[in-house]
Amino acid sequence: MADWKNLDTLKSFDELAKAKKVVVKDVMAGEAGAARVKKYNMPMAEGMSFNYAAKAVDDTVLDLMQKLADEAQLTDKYAELYNGEVINTGEKRLVLHQLCRGQLGNDVVADGVNKREFYAEQQKKVAEFAKKVHSGEIANAKGEKFTTVVQIGIGGSDLGPRAIYIGLENWAKKTGNFKMEAKFISNVDPDDASAVLNSIDVAHSLFVLVSKSGTTLETLTNESFVKDALKNAGLDASKHMVAVTSETSPLAKSSDYLAAFFMDDYIGGRFSSSSCVGGAVLSLAFGPEVFDAFLKGAAAEDKLATNKNILENPAMLDAVIGVYERNVLDMGTTAVLPYSQALSRFPAHLQQADMESNGKSVNRFGEPVNYKTGPVIFGEPGTNGQHSFYQLLHQGKDIIPLQFIGFKNSQIGNDVDIQGSTSQQKLCANVAAQIVAFACGKDDENNNKKFDGNRPSSIIVGDKLTPETIGALLSHFENKIMFQGFLWNVNSFDQEGVQLGKVLAKKVLAHETDGALSVYSDMLGI
Amino acid sequence: MADWKNLDTLKSFDELAKAKKVVVKDVMAGEAGAARVKKYNMPMAEGMSFNYAAKAVDDTVLDLMQKLADEAQLTDKYAELYNGEVINTGEKRLVLHQLCRGQLGNDVVADGVNKREFYAEQQKKVAEFAKKVHSGEIANAKGEKFTTVVQIGIGGSDLGPRAIYIGLENWAKKTGNFKMEAKFISNVDPDDASAVLNSIDVAHSLFVLVSKSGTTLETLTNESFVKDALKNAGLDASKHMVAVTSETSPLAKSSDYLAAFFMDDYIGGRFSSSSCVGGAVLSLAFGPEVFDAFLKGAAAEDKLATNKNILENPAMLDAVIGVYERNVLDMGTTAVLPYSQALSRFPAHLQQADMESNGKSVNRFGEPVNYKTGPVIFGEPGTNGQHSFYQLLHQGKDIIPLQFIGFKNSQIGNDVDIQGSTSQQKLCANVAAQIVAFACGKDDENNNKKFDGNRPSSIIVGDKLTPETIGALLSHFENKIMFQGFLWNVNSFDQEGVQLGKVLAKKVLAHETDGALSVYSDMLGI
């Protein structure tokens, strides 16, 4: 059994904190900088690579990072997780999202069920259902094919599947894998559901209701919205809806749905894209083969995360570097900057995955910790961000570590040659230029035009954004978050911080308020 | 003339820094908390209000904030700005975006032109053009009406107009003001333009090319993309495009465009939504009357920002509170949380407006400053964010100040009653609940379920999101950013930090690289 200890009790962390700091600007200069970019690079799955040359590391620091990874037993803890230990101690649950995409260790049997088989079986049910929808065997009351799929879900039931859908929409259209348009309803703001419903042909739409508990207020409310719209169109709602839920939820056996697909309590919402939470909508939109390819990419990256050698484990190195930046270099925010318009909502998904997992102040035993934990995560695609918030990243008072992502090729392949280069070349030139600008800076007599440099960044480079590569990317960040949670010794798999707001909102709706809450409620017209 | 001094040289700042800290949790409790919520509230334009009860202020702190505003001569500096002084000292330019929506002071004459008249005249040209497009007087080669408008622009030519378009799209559809669908192309990623072009009927599309200099690489590249698509469809591109640019740019007198509308160097990109950068696309999409209403709301809020009394000047108080949080309470990030799906991209626009303006390390005289300047800004709409990153906001190690926005009514007006309340009521109940949860927290024997509270927030409450209220919101934040720049003594109107990346990207494309840049270029296949 692994030994769960606070970060600040680890001897190797103390050594790492005391090690000589690497000045990124110095080490990235000249031919030594070029050699460094070649050296500090490691393969990821699906032909991608993780380059950390522009991070504040050298061989000494990397050795200490290996020691820290060893002392914190990071891969041992990962093994406990995928072998089915109760890693989510607060809620006394296993943590099994990786099992949706492959089996890295022993059979995991819980509640008398082999969980790998269970998840695979659910995905098989989804695949069969999707194929029947695509063939027209499952159709609307008039026997016409469904053309649109609408996911109703919020948080983990929305952000990941939506980011992946946007990530693959153009790829699917280009490669002939586009089966149905997908839309998403998430917010309890009635304008969200209304606008989506106004934009679709409900008679040819299939709705995927996603709520693990079957009790998420936003989602049930939006279900009613949809049922009203179907009823108003003279349609039988139960012929237009499927449920993704747990077997024990009130939705599981309801006759209100064409079908029900199951996940369980061992898959947290923010990690559920690989389960049928992502599987249903993505298999319907792009076909089950595409979703399988996504799982394959994620599984391959999961495998890399088992490597004990930190230089062969991109997620683990990325995690340790992030903790070093947060707890030694005192940097409080991280920007995720994909140079790919298709990844426009990927940072929003990572924002949830990371901040909800590691935005904690107590360790896994419920004891307050005396060090910083998860950072704020934000980001927008490049080159858009360059014309927006990069000013602060380059010349602001705080140093914000950067996580770039880039691909050599576009998804659609249309391009124009202007001033001797294609748009794709311009895109790639910009990300290369930014890394060096952030790292090396530029001196100038005019302080206003001076760049201090020393802004650390890493980049993940791939050939093209595909189902496999987006799967690998997702796995990389999920595992990075997991390893960081291990280092901070927090439970990355619960979210008690979302409860109080829910409780108070119920009080407002029940008109059981007093004090400040009562005045705010009046002000907002409730 | 105002006296431009660094924040840390102001006596009143020192006093403010030394004042007794207000414990939000304590002052917000019980009936005293209720009284406070009623008291710490001030009117904004268009029936909105700014409530700062959950901020770390009391009467003493507010008095010191007034002293700081006075000593820093905030409203005097604002008056210099709207009276046409050279406030953007780095680029030696006036700063005149407010003049697009009204005239608060003297006539501003520059280059022999009355600038208020100039901006009004350009908007009149836009309005006449838009009306002709709507009536069909300006039509495609076959004499058919244009149905879609596509804005081609990046950064300031994209984020603000896009956020406002999304903000008003459902309102316009509901109120019969929806004239044409708008789309946006921004990224140099070729998949951005390709995907938009694949989604529209180019024969019935009008393109608005926006580049003040007429030299923005992304925008010119995307123009070529569009011209290719028009040519491939057998269409005359010059009959499908208008330009928004400066009179001195290469685009200004080109026969490549149906029309050209002008702004000038006195309107920075990130502040240009009120000029024809926003005016063209929004007048085409919703009609010029709607854009006029937007300007009216902004003008009314601009007027409030002239008040010397900080308790009657929401933008100024918001600004001073933000500086207090950044420089006294040491909080480095601010979250913008609109409880309105229609404002889904408003935080991304504010992220640019704020971080590009105040993400600086030197003062307006080019001297390094010894205090923190602009914070990181991020946000997503509620209730979505509650199911995402709010965990960290509630229980993370860093305190993140929060800026809520809420409206009593939805835009579309469709709603369902579930469990005794409408969706709109649930939405409003949630934002009220969150403010109190963040401020007051909750004790618990289990540390994991304990909320420390003391998370400061403010809320802007309006009746409904309309052209007028979104105009007032935009003005509020633009002026907040301006006042904060005055306090930090930085030039909020240049962006030298974006230059180095551009220079290096050109080197990559010209294959004039060495060192690290050369290896990164190879890695990315350039």
> How is residue B96 written in tokens?
């005149």
* Inter-residue contact B207 to B233 (CB < 8 Å): no
pLDDT for res A217:
87
pLDDT for res A216:
87
Average pLDDT, chain A: 97
Pick from B189, B373, B494 the residue to mutate for testing the A interface (most A CBs within 10 Å). Answer: B189
The alpha helices in A138-287, defined as continuous H runs, are: 159-175, 190-199, 217-232, 276-286
| B367-371 contacts, C-beta under 8 A, 24 or more apart | B367/A447, B367/B6, B368/A447, B369/A397, B369/B6, B369/B7, B369/B8, B369/B488, B369/B489, B369/B490, B370/B6, B370/B8, B371/A397, B371/B6, B371/B7, B371/B8, B371/B327, B371/B488
* Inter-residue contact A388 to B268 (CB < 8 Å): no
Which band of pLDDT confidence, cut at 50, 70 and 90, is reported for residue B1?
Answer: confident
pLDDT at B334 over 90: yes
Radius of gyration of chain A (CA): 24
Nearest to A33 among B156, B228, B516 (CB): B516
Residues A343-348, mean pLDDT to the nearest whole number:
98
- B221 and A423 within 8 Å at the Cβ level: the answer is yes
Percent of chain B scored above 90 by pLDDT?
Answer: 97
Task: Residue A406: list chain B partners with CB under 8 A.
Answer: 524
Of A440, A470, A481, whose CA–CA distance to A334 is shortest? A481
Of A50, A51, A74, A56, whose CA–CA distance to A17 is shortest? A56
Cα separation of A281 and B334, whole Å? Answer: 34
- A507 and B359 within 8 Å at the Cβ level: the answer is no
Write down the residue that tokens 């926006």 correspond to. Answer: B210
pLDDT for res B317:
98
| CB proximity B511 to A under 8 Å | no
**Residue B259 parent element (H or E):** strand B259-263
Question: What is the CB-side half-sphere exposure of residue B373 using CA atoms within 13 A?
Answer: 32
Catalytic residue among A80, A218, A223, A356: A356
- B520 and A435 within 8 Å at the Cβ level: the answer is yes
Of B31, B240, B48, whose CA–CA distance to B145 is shortest? B240
**Strands (E) located in A247-301:** 259-263
Residues A238, A287, A298: CA angle, nearest 5 degrees = 115
Task: Residue A505: list chain B partners with CB under 8 A.
Answer: 426, 429-430, 432-434
> How is residue B29 written in tokens?
């409790």
Instruction: Note the pLDDT tens digit of each residue in B281-310.
Output: 999 999 999 999 999 999 999 999 999 999
> How is residue A299 written in tokens?
């599984």
Instruction: Note the pLDDT tens digit of each residue in B134-169.
Output: 999 999 989 999 999 999 999 999 999 999 999 999
Cα separation of B254 and B223, whole Å? Answer: 14
Catalytic residue among B218, B356, B468, B478: B356
Percent of chain A scored above 70 by pLDDT?
Answer: 100
pLDDT for res A495:
96
Our CA dihedral for B369, B370, B371, B374, rounded to 10 degrees, sits at 30
Our CA dihedral for B313, B315, B320, B325, rounded to 10 degrees, sits at 140
* Inter-residue contact B515 to A53 (CB < 8 Å): no
| CB proximity B387 to A under 8 Å | yes
pLDDT for res A1:
85
Report DSSP letters for B118-136, one per residue. HHHHHHHHHHHHHHHHHHT
* Inter-residue contact A361 to B395 (CB < 8 Å): yes
Which band of pLDDT confidence, cut at 50, 70 and 90, is reported for residue A253?
Answer: confident
Instruction: Note the pLDDT tens digit of each residue in A303-331.
Output: 999 999 999 999 999 999 999 999 999 99
> How is residue B397 written in tokens?
């190690």
Instruction: Note the pLDDT tens digit of each residue in A186-234.
Output: 999 999 999 999 999 999 999 999 999 888 888 999 999 999 999 999 9
N residues, chain B: 526
Task: Residue B156: list chain A partners with CB under 8 A.
Answer: 387
Cα separation of B506 and A429, whole Å? Answer: 8
Q: A7-71+307-489 with A114-294: one CATH topology? A: yes
Cα separation of B431 and A501, whole Å? Answer: 9
Residues B255-273, mean pLDDT to the nearest whole number:
96
pLDDT for res A405:
98
Q: In DSSP terms, which residues pair with B402 in a beta bridge? A: B335, B457
Q: In DSSP terms, which residues pair with B338 in a beta bridge? A: B405
pLDDT for res B323:
98
* Inter-residue contact A406 to B188 (CB < 8 Å): no
pLDDT for res B216:
87
Instruction: Note the pLDDT tens digit of each residue in B123-134.
Output: 999 999 999 999
Average pLDDT, chain B: 97
Which band of pLDDT confidence, cut at 50, 70 and 90, is reported for residue B217?
Answer: confident
First-to-last alpha carbon distance for chain B, in angstroms, is 52
Q: Burial-class residue B112 by CB neighbours within 10 Å (0-12, 13-18, 19+).
A: exposed
Instruction: Note the pLDDT tens digit of each residue in A55-105.
Output: 999 999 999 999 999 999 999 999 999 999 999 998 999 999 999 999 999
Which band of pLDDT confidence, cut at 50, 70 and 90, is reported for residue A53?
Answer: very high
CATH class entry, domain B108-292? alpha beta
- Residue ranges per domain, chain A? 7-71+307-489, 114-294
Nearest to B366 among A376, A391, A447 (CB): A447
Q: Chain A: nearest CA to B149, how far in angstroms?
A: 18
Of B155, B275, B253, B522, whose CA–CA distance to A432 is shortest? B522
Report DSSP letters for B49-92, one per residue. EEE-TTSS--HHHHHHHHHHHHHTTHHHHHHHHHTT---BTTTT
Report DSSP letters for B463-478, one per residue. S---HHHHHHHHHHHH
In chain A, which among 477-506 make CB contacts under 8 A with chain B? Answer: 491, 494-505
In chain A, which among 326-345 make CB contacts under 8 A with chain B? Answer: 332-333, 339-342
- The CATH-assigned architecture of domain A114-294 is 3-Layer(aba) Sandwich (3.40)
Instruction: Provide the CATH number for the domain formed by A7-71+307-489 in this structure.
Output: 3.40.50.10490
Write down the residue that tokens 């050795």 correspond to. Answer: A63
pLDDT at B88 over 90: yes
Nearest to B505 among A368, A418, A429 (CB): A429
Pick from B230, B277, B392 the residue to mutate for testing the A interface (most A CBs within 10 Å). Answer: B392
Instruction: Note the pLDDT tens digit of each residue in B451-498.
Output: 999 999 999 999 999 999 999 999 999 999 999 999 999 999 999 999
Instruction: Note the pLDDT tens digit of each residue in B375-404.
Output: 999 999 999 999 999 999 999 999 999 999
Radius of gyration of chain B (CA): 24
Of B345, B339, B353, whose CA–CA distance to B165 is shortest? B345
DSSP A451: B
- A433 and B508 within 8 Å at the Cβ level: the answer is yes
